Amino acid sequence: MTLVLVAAVALVDRDGRVLLARRPQGGFLSGLWEFPGGKLEAGETPEQALIRELEEELGILTWQSCLAPLTFASHAYEEFDLLMPLFICRKWQGTAMPKEGQDLAWVRPSEFGRYPMPPADRPLLPILRDWL
């Protein structure tokens, strides 16, 4: 089975809320909420991929020094195996805006249960809750 490497980030604002983005309708796992991020391109590190994805998807800039690795998820979907490191970021430049038509929500860790997430993301929530 193919291994897909995806980097994700928990953007944490000054109020301790985390940004979630809803996957667009019609695609894989459509309508579910997830941490921003995406697939690594050839030659990219997870940090480089996140810096690129955050600018493309949300119009914000961050730096490698602001991305702290927290944990990772590993999940076997039917078509591929997913490996996803999760980073924490508390510092960025700009205001997160949905540049790809996705819905965004700033969510308190106690409210994560109200947002249906992909199977790979769910095990990350207790770890993130404990850290915040």
Q: pLDDT, tens digit, for every residue of 99-116?
A: 888 899 999 999 999 999
Tell me the C-alpha distance between 31 and 48, whole Å.
26
Laid out side by side, the sheet with 37-39 consists of: 37-39, 2-11, 80-89, 68-76
Q: pLDDT, tens digit, for every residue of 28-76?
A: 777 899 999 999 999 999 999 999 999 999 999 999 999 999 999 999 9
User: Taking Cα atoms as reference points, which of 80, 40, 82, 85 lies closest to residue 67?
Assistant: 85
Please tell me the predicted confidence (pLDDT) of residue 118: 93
C-beta separation of 36 from 53 below 8 A: yes
Please tell me the predicted confidence (pLDDT) of residue 51: 98
Contacts for 21-30: CB closer than 8 Å, 24+ residues apart: 21/57, 21/58, 21/98, 21/102, 21/103, 21/104, 22/102, 22/103, 22/104, 22/105, 23/102, 23/118, 24/100, 24/101, 24/102, 29/118
Beta-sheet strands, E only, within 53-131: 68-76, 80-89, 104-107
Please tell me the predicted confidence (pLDDT) of residue 55: 97
pTM of the full predicted structure?
0.92
